[in-house]
Structure 1
Amino acid sequence: MSISRAKPLGSLYEECKEYDLVLVPDAPLASALNRRLDKPHFGPFAITPRRLAARRREKAEDRLAFLEITETTDLDWKETAYAVGNILQCWEYQGTAGAVLEYDSYATEGTYAAVECIEGMDTTSGQLTDYTIDTGQSIAVVGYKQLTALERSILPDEYDTIDPFTDDAFDYPPFRILDSPAAVIDVVLETVTEENADDVGVVLDAASQYSPLIESALESADIPFYGGPGFTDDPHHRAFLQLLRSAHAGRDTRVGDVRPLLTQLGMSVDIEHDEKRLFDLNRSAVEWLLEFSEEIHSHSFGSALEAYERVTDSSLGAFREELETLGVIDDFVSEDAVDRLEFYLQSYEVPIERENEGVLLADAKSAAHVDRPLVFYLGLDEGWTHSSPRRPWVDRDQEFERNIRQFQLLLQNGVEQYYLVEDTSGGTPVTPCLYFDDLLDEEFERFSDLNSVQYSRTVRETQDGFEKEPLDISPEEVETISQSSLSTYVNSPRDYFFSRLLDNPDKDYFEEGNLFHDFAEFYVSHPDVITDDELEEVAKVILEEVDPFLRGVDREVRLTKYRIGLQTIVEYLEANPPVGDEVVVANGGWGRNFFAKYYDQTIDVGHTERWFENTDLGLKGKIDLVQSPTQLLDYKSGSKKSAYSIVKNSALDPPSDKPNFQALLYLAHQRTVQPDETLQFTFFHFLETLDDVVTGGGSLDDCLTTVTYHPLSFNEYIGRPAIFTELREEAPNDCNKTFSQVEYDEYRDVLDAHEFPETRDRDELIDSEFGQALTDRMVDAVGDYKYVKNGCKQALRHVLRIRNQNYFRDDVDVFEAFVQERLTELNTRRAGDERFPVEGLGGEPNYRYVNNRDCILEEGSR
C-alpha cells in the first residue's frame, strides 16, 4: 500500500464547478473551493452538510447541550457530560437523537432526560436530521466515505460522488530530522515573517509540546497567527484557576507548585525557595496570596475574579461572561465547585473571537485541508493518530478508513510541504504516526529508517516529552503467551500493552540473531554443505545482510565476530548432533530459512526451530533445537548467564527485577510431551568465548549453561540416597567428614520429621527449624564438634544450591497456575474492564527492560 495522491484543489474545482451544490466533509475544503468560483453562483456552492442544514456557522453543540441540560435538569455535571457525549456521538453514527437508548447499558434515567432535552433544542444535528435537499439541483459529494451516517442522511436518491484521490501514489517529501522540539520551531521561524504569514500553515498535534512552543515563538516574533490557543490557554485564565485550586491546597503547598501563579501575580520569589512551603515564606512577598487563601470560603466566583483583576490590573470579561453562562458567578468557591468548573473547562472548548489573519495553526486531528501555499508539519508522531471511540454504535473499521483517508489528504496540503520531526526523544526513538504502518511499504521503527534528511542545529533548551493519545487494542481473548511477552507483562503491563500496538522493525542485533539461528538450523539439516571455506562465505553473507545497519569501521570487527560465532556453532553441533527420530513437539517449524533459500535446499529434519502452542497451559514459543526428547537448546548471542541467575530471574513471588521465564516456560511445555522424565534446557551462548578464540583459546563448555527439571518435588529429590552420597563425597570437607559417620536413615529421618522451608536464602535456611534439627541430629550422632556444626552448614548450602539451580515439579506446577492468573488478568484489561498499570507485580518496573518508555507516563498514569 502507498499514500494515495490527492487531487489538486484546482483540479477538484474543475470537476465540481458545473454542479449546483457540492457537499464536502470539512469547512476548510468548502472555503477553498468557494474561493475558486469563477462565475456568479446562486445560493451555496461548496458546503458541509451541517452548514447547509443550519444555514449558519457550526457551533459546538456539545457545550450548548451541556449548558441547557445543567440548567433545566437535576443531573450533575459529569453525568451530563457523559450523556451528552454518548447521545451526540451515537446520533452522528446512527442518524437519530434517541438511538443511544437502544443500547441497554447506556439507556439510564439521566440519558433519557438528556435525550428529551436535546431533542427540544435547536441544534445543527437536529436540523441535519430533518433536512431534505432540493432534488431539482445537480449535486456532487466530494469524499463520500468521510461523511458520517447523519451527514449522508440528507442526500437525495440521485447524486454524483467525486473521489478526492487520484489513482497515483503520492511521493512524500523527506522527513527533516532535527534534534529537539526547539530546533523544529526555529526552522519555522527562519521562514515565516510578518509579511508572508498569510501564506503559511502549520499542522501539529494540538495536545503536543509543539503547540505552546510555536504559539509563544510566533508571539515573541510579532508574527500574527490564529487557530491556536483557546479559552483556557489564556495565561490569566489559567492563573485564576490555579489561584482557586491553590487556595484549597492546604498549608503543605510548595512554592514550586505555584510558581506560574506567583509569576502571573507579579510576586517575586527566588527559585531557591521552590521546595519550601508557601506558608513558611516571609509574608511580605506573598502576603496577598496568603490572605486570599485564608478568606477563600467567604468568596464567590465573582468576588474572587474581582480580587484577581485588582491585584493583576487585568480585565477578565470573557471569563466573567462564562461564569454567568454557567450560572455559578454567585456561588461560593468551595473545593467541589472549583472541581466542577475545571471539569467543564477541560471538557468543552469555550468559543472566543479570533482575527483570521496570519499563520494558520491547524490541529492534525481536525480538518484535512489547509489552503496555504506553504505548510509545515510538526512531529508527525503517535499523537497524530486518532483514537477510535470504543462504543457499540461505532464501526471501527469504517472509522479507521475515514481517519486514514483524512490523514492522507492532510499530508498533501500546500504547494510545498515540510515534514519536521524528531528521531529520538529522551534517548528513545520517536514512533512515527501509526497510519504510516499501513501506508508505507518500508519497514521502519523511526523516521531515520524512512526517506529522511538529518539536520544538526544549535538550539535553545526546551521541555521534554510528548502527551500521548490513548490507544485501543483488540478485545479478542489471548489464549497463549510467549516467554518474552510474559516477561514484559510482569515487568510493566503498560509496556506490554504498547508492545502489542507498535510494530518494531529489525535492528542489527535482531538481524544477526535470526541469521545465526537460520544457519544453525540449516547446518543440522545439511552439514555436508558447510565446509571450512564455506564458513568464511557464510560470514560474509551475514555481513552483507547486516551491513545496512553498520558503520564502515565496524565491518572487519563484525566479520570476525560472525566467523567465530559460526565456527562455535559448528563445533558444538559436530560434537552434539541431535538424536531421536520423532518430532517431540506438537506443531511445525517456522517454514522459512535464509540459508535454505540461499543454497536452494530444503530443511528436512524435525529437530530445529520447533514452534509449539500449548493452549492447555496457555504457553507458546519456538524451540531452537530439540537435542533429544529430553534436552532442549536455545542459541544466545548475548552474555552468558549462570544457572543460578536463570532460576532467580524466573522467580514468581516476588518476581525478579529482570524477569525471564524462557527456560521455565519451555520445560513446562516439554514435560507434557515427556511426562515423568528428567529434562534439560541448555543456553548456548555461542559468542561467549569470542575474545578467547581471537587470542587462541576458548572452550566450548564456557558457552553452555544448563538448567534441569526433575519430575519430583524438591523434598522428594533431596531425600534420595544419591543426594546423601553427594554430601558424603562431593560436598566440602567438613560436610564429607560429618556425613560419612552417619547412615542414610538418620539423614532421612530429619527430612521426614521436618518440612524444608520455602526460603532460598542460605542464612535463613541455616537458622530455620529444619537447619537446627539437622544440626542437632548430626551432633547427637557424631559429637558436639566444631567441624560437625560447620559440616551441617556446608550440607545446607549444598542442598540449597541444588534448589537454586534447578526446577522441580512444584516449581513448574506453581508457574502453570501463575500463567493462568496472568492470562485472566490480561484478558480483563484487554476487554477494557481496567487499565494496564505501569507497575508490574514487583512494583515499579525496571525501566532498563521497558521497550516503550516514551509511551509511559509515570505517577498519574498508573
Structure 2
Amino acid sequence: MTITRSKSIDLLYQECKSFDLVLVPDAPMASALNRRLDQPHFGPFAITPRRLAARRREEAEDRLAFLETITTTDLGWKEASHAVGNVLQCWEHQGAADAILRYESFATDATRTTVDCITEMDTTSRRLSEYTIDAETSVAVVGITQFTTLERSILPSNYETIDPFTEEPFDPTPFRVFDSPAAVVDVVIDTVTRENADNVGIVLDGDSQYSSPIKSAFEAADIPYYGGPGFTDDTHHRMFLEFLRSVHAGRDTRIGDVRPLLTQLGLSIDVKHDEKRLHDLDHPEVDRLRGFRDGIRTDTFEAAIETYEAVTGVSLDAFRDELSTLSVLDDPVTEDAVDRLEFYLQSYEVPVDRENEGVLLADPKSAAHVDRPLVFYLGLDEGWSHSSPRRPWVDRNQEFERNLRQFQLLLQNGVERYYLVQETVGGTPVTPCLYFEELFEEDFERFSGLNSVPHARTARPTLDGFEKEPVDTSVEEITTLSQSSLNTYVNSPRDYFFSRLLDTPDKDYIKEGNLFHDFAEFYAAHPGVITAETLDEISRVILSEVAPFLRDVDRNVRRTKYRLGLQTIVEFLEANPPRTDELLTANGGWGRNFFAEYYDRPIDATHTERWFENAKLGLQGKIDLVHDPTHLLDYKSGSKKSAHSVVKHSAIDPPSDQPNFQALLYLAHQRTEQPDEELRFTFFHFLETLDDIVTGGGSLGDCLTTVTYYPCPFKEHIAKPAVFIELQEEAANDCTKTFSKTEYDVYRALFDAYEFPATRDSDELINSEFGRALIDRMKAEVGDYKYVTKGCKQALRHLIRIQNRNYFSGDVDAFERFVRERQVELNSRRAGNERFPVEGLSGDPNYRYVDNRDCILKEGSR
C-alpha cells in the first residue's frame, strides 16, 4: 500500500505555532488548529486564503455572481450561469478575472459581459486578487500543493511550507462490508447518542443512499447534527416546486407522478389509481388539485405561495425571500418561469441558517479534515471521486494529484475510524472510489478484494418512543394457495410476503383483461343479446373504462383491438358452445360482472367464472369456463404460449425461472371431481390473431393452446395402442413408414423387456438402453435400412414431445406433494420461525416477475 501517513493536528500545530499566520487549504483544518492555540494571538492565526482576503465568512460567490449577472445584464439564466461558472473557474486556476478571454472558443460576447459584470462586484475572488500580506508577517503554508493559482497569489515572497504528510506509510483499518444501507445506518445509530454527538463525524456523499436514512434516524432519536439538509432538502420547498411543475404538467401525467404532492396537500387518493392519468380521472380529490392548479396557472409566484400556504398550513417565508432575491415574486407562473426556477435551484445552493452543533456530516469532496475523535466513512464508492473539469485552463493531472492528496488526508481523520461499505447494491457490484486504484498496490474489483470484514445486519434496540409492545395473537394459517400466489412464492418468497402487505396500482392490461373476461361470461349466459352493433358499443364502453390509463394518441388503436378481441371470443363460443350446465365445482361464481350490471341481466350459468377452494389439496382458483366436465378453458389477453412452454414452466424439480402453475393447479383440482378421466385445459389467447384479422385472415386454432392430463403414469401411457397408432399415422415420415411395417405386440414387448429412462431429453433417450433396443428391434423386424434408424429416432423424439406437452398422474401427484410442502414452509415463515428469503427454490428470483422490487435487497435472505 502507498497511502502516506498524515500528521495529526496536534503535530501540525506544534510546527505552526511560532508563525504569525498559517495558511491552510480548507476551513476545517483552520478551525482545528485555532482550537489548539495555547496563548493569545493578535489577528488571524490559521486561516484559508479566501477567508483572510475577504475578512468575512466565505460565501458561494458563484450564486452571488449569477444573481448580479441576471439582474444587470440581458443574458438568459442558463447562458449567464454557464458564463459565470467558466469565468470563476478560470479565474481560480489562472489567477486573473479576464484570463478566460485568452481562450478563443470561450471569448464570446456573453463571456465578456460576464467578466465586466463580475469584476465590478465585491467578490471573494476579487479581494483575493488584490490582497497582499505584510512583508513583516511570518507565514507558514500547510499543504501548498492543495492551493490553487488564485490562492497562491497572496503569498509573500518569503514563507515556509509545511507538508501535512509524514514519510511513514498509513495502514487503514479494514473495510467493514454490510449487506444493505439499513445495516450501515444501524451501526452508526447504535454508536451515536445525544451525549456523544459532538465527538462524532460522518463522511458521506450527500446524494448517496445513506444520506436520508442517517438524517431521518438522527431526527427520530433527537440527535443534533449539522452539515445536513440544504434549502431544496426542505420537504415543503420541494413540494412547492412540484406544485408549480404540476400547473403545466401534460395530459399524460399520472397520479403516481404527483402522489408526494397530493400527500402534502392533504389529498387522499387510493394507490390503485397511480397508473391513471390525472387529466382523465374522475375523482373529487383530483378535482380539488385541478382547482388549485387552475387558480394559479396565470397568476404570480406570490399568489402560488399563498395558495400552497393556505392549503398546507405551513409558512414558505424562506422560499418567498429567495423568489424576491431573484426578482420573480410578481412574475406569472408560466412554464418557462418554472423551468428557470427549477434550473436555478438545481444549480446553486441557497444558504440556510444552521446550528453548528452535534454530529458533523462532512462531504468527501469538500474538505479533508474532520476534527472529531470518532469518524465514520459511509460508502467510499465512486461517488467520492472528483470529476476534474474538462476545460483548457485546468491541468487535469495536477487536479487529480490535488484530489488524491485530499483523499489520503480525509481517510485518516479521527482517533477511531470506521470504513462502512457495501459489496453490492440491488445486485450490482459497488465500485470502490477510483483513488484506491492509485493508493493500493494489489489488484481488486470489490471491497471484498481488499482487507475487509463481512458483517451481517444485527438487531438494533428501538428508539425511545418506538418501543414494541408484545401482542398476544395467533397467526392465521394459509390453507389454500392460488396459482398466482404460488407462482410468486416459488419465484421469491420475499416478494410474496410484500404482495400480502402492500397495495399495488391498477394496470391497464389487468383492467382490459377483467372486462374481456366479464364479456365472455356474459356472452356465454346471454348470447342472444350480442350483435355486431353491440360489439361496437361494448368496445367503446371498454375504452371508456380503460381511458384514464391511455394516452389520447393510443385510443383509436385500442378500440380496434377491443372490437376484434370481442369478435374472436364470440366466434369461438359460437363454434364451440359449452356442453354442460351442471355445477361442476365446489363453490359459487366469482363476484360481480360489469356487463351484467351494464345490461341489467343476471348471470345464472354454472359453467362460467367458477370459484373453487379445495382444502384437501390446499388449492384455490377461478375457472373461466367449464367447457364440459373434462375440459377447462382460460381466457388470455397476452401472447400465446405453446403446450411445451406451459409444461416447462410448471416444472417443480427444479422450478422454472418463470414459474407458472395455473394449468397444473386447475387440472389437479379437476381430477378430484372427475377421477380417472382424461382432462384437458385450454388457454384461449383471443388477441393472438389481431394482425391476421386486420389483413383478412386469422384462424381460431391459432388462438388455442391445450394441454392434456392422462390419468396414468407416462410410461404406461406411451405403451398403449393409441400411442403406437400415433407413431404409425401422426409422427414424422420415416417414423410412420417404419412403424407401419410392424405390429403393436413388438412395440409393447420392448416396454416389458427394458426400463424406459426417466428423462425429458430426446438425445439422452436415444442413447439409452431402451433407445438402442428399439432401433435394434425395428431393424430386425423391418430391415437394416437408414430410414429405420432415422424413423426410430423420430419415434423416440415423438415420445419425449408427448411427455413435454402433457401431464400424467405422476406429474400431478408430485405437484400435490410440492404444494403441501410449500404450505407447511409458508406457514412456518408466517409464524416467525424464519424470514421470508429473497431467493426462490431455483435460486435468485427472476426480477422480471417481481412486483415489489423496491422492497427487496439483493442479500435480504440473511
Normalising by structure 2, report the TM-score.
Answer: 0.53
Alignment of 1:209-608 (within 5 A): 209-457=209-457
CA deviations on 1:350-386 (whole Å, 9 max, x unpaired) are 0000000111111110011111111100000000000
Aligned to 1:361, the other structure's residue is in SS state: strand
Q: Distance in 2 between matches of 1:270 and 1:288?
A: 15
Counterpart of 2:64 in structure 1 is 64
Q: Distance in 2 between matches of 1:459 and 1:347?
A: 40
Counterpart of 2:76 in structure 1 is 76
Counterpart of 1:178 in structure 2 is 178
Alignment of 1:11-50 (within 5 A): 11-50=11-50
Aligned to 1:141, the other structure's residue is in SS state: strand
Report how far residue 429 of structure 1 moved.
Answer: 1.7
Please tell me whether the aligned partners of residues 53 and 128 of structure 1 are also in contact (alpha carbons under 8 angstroms): yes
Aligned to 1:176, the other structure's residue is in SS state: strand
CA deviations on 1:307-342 (whole Å, 9 max, x unpaired) are 001100000111000000000000000001000000
Please tell me whether the aligned partners of residues 183 and 459 of structure 1 are also in contact (alpha carbons under 8 angstroms): no
Alignment of 1:813-828 (within 5 A): none
- Give 1:44's aligned amino acid: P
Aligned to 2:309, the other structure's residue is in SS state: helix
Please tell me whether the aligned partners of residues 206 and 364 of structure 1 are also in contact (alpha carbons under 8 angstroms): no
- Give 1:171's aligned amino acid: D
Counterpart of 2:6 in structure 1 is 6
Please tell me whether the aligned partners of residues 25 and 143 of structure 1 are also in contact (alpha carbons under 8 angstroms): yes
- Give 1:329's aligned amino acid: L
Q: Distance in 1 between matches of 2:214 and 2:355?
A: 18
Counterpart of 2:118 in structure 1 is 118
Please tell me whether the aligned partners of residues 375 and 416 of structure 2 are also in contact (alpha carbons under 8 angstroms): yes
Q: Distance in 1 between matches of 2:417 and 2:333?
A: 49
Q: Distance in 1 between matches of 2:298 and 2:425?
A: 47
Report how far residue 91 of structure 1 moved.
Answer: 0.2
CA deviations on 1:145-179 (whole Å, 9 max, x unpaired) are 00000000110111000000000111101100000
- Give 1:267's aligned amino acid: L
CA deviations on 1:259-292 (whole Å, 9 max, x unpaired) are 1111111222221221122244454323331112
Counterpart of 1:541 in structure 2 is none
Q: Distance in 2 between matches of 1:254 and 1:268?
A: 15
CA deviations on 1:397-434 (whole Å, 9 max, x unpaired) are 11001000000000111111010000111222211100
Please tell me whether the aligned partners of residues 299 and 333 of structure 1 are also in contact (alpha carbons under 8 angstroms): yes
CA deviations on 1:99-134 (whole Å, 9 max, x unpaired) are 011101101101100000000000000000010001
CA deviations on 1:466-504 (whole Å, 9 max, x unpaired) are xxxxxxxxxxxxxxxxxxxxxxxxxxxxxxxxxxxxxxx
Report how far residue 194 of structure 1 moved.
Answer: 1.0
Distance 1:459 1:63, change over 3 A: farther
Q: Distance in 1 between matches of 2:347 and 2:233?
A: 14
Bigger radius of gyration among the two: 2
Q: Distance in 1 between matches of 2:209 and 2:70?
A: 34
Alignment of 1:729-808 (within 5 A): none
Please tell me whether the aligned partners of residues 247 and 293 of structure 2 are also in contact (alpha carbons under 8 angstroms): yes
Report how far residue 138 of structure 1 moved.
Answer: 0.9
Q: Distance in 1 between matches of 2:270 and 2:151?
A: 57
Report how far residue 220 of structure 1 moved.
Answer: 1.7
CA deviations on 1:491-536 (whole Å, 9 max, x unpaired) are xxxxxxxxxxxxxxxxxxxxxxxxxxxxxxxxxxxxxxxxxxxxxx
Counterpart of 2:188 in structure 1 is 188
Q: Distance in 2 between matches of 1:156 and 1:250?
A: 60
Residue 170 of structure 2 is aligned to residue 158 of structure 1: no
Report how far residue 222 of structure 1 moved.
Answer: 1.3
Counterpart of 2:473 in structure 1 is none
CA deviations on 1:34-56 (whole Å, 9 max, x unpaired) are 00000000110000000000100
Runs of 4+ in 1 over 4 A off after TM superposition: none
- Give 2:37's aligned amino acid: L
Q: Distance in 2 between matches of 1:66 and 1:131?
A: 24
Q: Distance in 1 between matches of 2:346 and 2:365?
A: 18
Alignment of 1:573-722 (within 5 A): none
CA deviations on 1:744-785 (whole Å, 9 max, x unpaired) are xxxxxxxxxxxxxxxxxxxxxxxxxxxxxxxxxxxxxxxxxx
Counterpart of 2:541 in structure 1 is none
Distance 1:278 1:458, change over 3 A: farther
Counterpart of 2:87 in structure 1 is 87
Counterpart of 2:102 in structure 1 is 102
Distance 1:298 1:426, change over 3 A: same
Q: Distance in 2 between matches of 1:289 and 1:40?
A: 63
Report how far residue 23 of structure 1 moved.
Answer: 0.1
- Give 1:371's aligned amino acid: D
Identical aligned pairs, as a percentage? 72
Gaps in structure 1 of 5+ consecutive residues: 461-732, 735-846, 849-862
- Give 1:75's aligned amino acid: L
- Give 2:275's aligned amino acid: E
Please tell me whether the aligned partners of residues 296 and 303 of structure 2 are also in contact (alpha carbons under 8 angstroms): no
Please tell me whether the aligned partners of residues 91 and 100 of structure 2 are also in contact (alpha carbons under 8 angstroms): yes
Distance 1:364 1:268, change over 3 A: same
Q: Distance in 2 between matches of 1:417 and 1:204?
A: 13
Q: Distance in 2 between matches of 1:454 and 1:185?
A: 15
- Give 1:206's aligned amino acid: G
Please tell me whether the aligned partners of residues 197 and 225 of structure 1 are also in contact (alpha carbons under 8 angstroms): yes
Q: Distance in 1 between matches of 2:236 and 2:459?
A: 29
- Give 2:432's aligned amino acid: P
- Give 1:383's aligned amino acid: G
Deviates more, 1:93-102 or 1:449-458: 449-458
CA deviations on 1:590-629 (whole Å, 9 max, x unpaired) are xxxxxxxxxxxxxxxxxxxxxxxxxxxxxxxxxxxxxxxx
Aligned to 2:207, the other structure's residue is in SS state: coil
Q: Distance in 2 between matches of 1:457 and 1:198?
A: 26
Counterpart of 1:484 in structure 2 is none
Report how far residue 451 of structure 1 moved.
Answer: 0.6
- Give 2:425's aligned amino acid: S
- Give 1:130's aligned amino acid: E
RMSD, aligned α-carbons:
1.9
Q: Distance in 1 between matches of 2:415 and 2:130?
A: 40
Report how far residue 246 of structure 1 moved.
Answer: 1.2
Q: Distance in 1 between matches of 2:183 and 2:385?
A: 23
Please tell me whether the aligned partners of residues 182 and 459 of structure 1 are also in contact (alpha carbons under 8 angstroms): no
Report how far residue 459 of structure 1 moved.
Answer: 7.5
Q: Distance in 2 between matches of 1:288 and 1:367?
A: 48
Q: Distance in 1 between matches of 2:192 and 2:267?
A: 35
Q: Distance in 1 between matches of 2:25 and 2:71?
A: 33
Please tell me whether the aligned partners of residues 25 and 146 of structure 1 are also in contact (alpha carbons under 8 angstroms): yes
Please tell me whether the aligned partners of residues 298 and 334 of structure 2 are also in contact (alpha carbons under 8 angstroms): no
Q: Distance in 2 between matches of 1:297 and 1:265?
A: 17
Deviates more, 1:338-347 or 1:281-290: 281-290
Q: Distance in 2 between matches of 1:417 and 1:152?
A: 33
Please tell me whether the aligned partners of residues 255 and 276 of structure 1 are also in contact (alpha carbons under 8 angstroms): yes
Please tell me whether the aligned partners of residues 97 and 115 of structure 2 are also in contact (alpha carbons under 8 angstroms): yes
Q: Distance in 2 between matches of 1:32 and 1:171?
A: 24
Counterpart of 1:147 in structure 2 is 147
